[in-house]
Amino acid sequence: MSRHGGRQLSGDQVLLIAKALSDKTRYEILKRLGAQKDALACVSVRDCMRVNPATLSHHMKELELAGLVGVTREGKFASYTLRRDALDAFIAQLQDDLAGCGETHRSAAEIGG
C-alpha cells in the first residue's frame, strides 16, 4: 500500500500508464472520458476525436491495457469509462516514488543547471 493509502502499482504498471498518457490522442480521450459522468459510447469518442475506427481501436486498447479505462461491451458496441482508481493510484505512486529524489540528490541549481 502506498503512503497515500491507495493500492501500490508495480514499476511495470507505472511505466505502462506513463506510456499510455504520453500520447496526445490518448490523453485527449482520457480528458473526454473524465468529463463524463456516465460511460461514453465508442462511436461518441470517435466522433468527437475525429479519428478513424482503426486508430481509435488502437488507442482504446492501449488505455485498456494500461488499466486507465473500463469497457462495457454489448454485442458489437462498446462504452468506456475513466478508471479514476487507476489514475489516482498512478498519481500516488509517482508521489511516493519521487518523494525522496530531492532529498538524496543535489538540485539542478546546486549543480549549476
Q: Give pLDDT tens digits for 56-97.
A: 999 999 999 999 999 999 998 999 999 999 999 999 999 988
Q: Which residue has the higher pLDDT, 18 or 109?
A: 18
The neighbour count for residue 109, using CB atoms within 10 Å, is: 7
Summarised one tens digit per residue, pLDDT across range 5-51 is 567 888 899 999 999 999 999 999 999 999 999 999 998 988 888 88
The one-letter amino acid at 22: S
**Can you tell me the distance from the alpha carbon of 57 to that of 55, in angstroms, rounded to the nearest whole number?**
5
DSSP tag of 15? H
> Cell for 110?
546546486
Would you say domain 11-97 falls under CATH 1.10.10.10?
yes
Say if residues 50 and 61 touch (Cβ distance below 8 Å). Answer: no
pTM of the model: 0.79
The residue extents of the domains of the chain are: 11-97
> Cell for 90?
498512478
Say if residues 42 and 56 touch (Cβ distance below 8 Å). Answer: yes
Q: Which residue has the higher pLDDT, 63 or 2?
A: 63
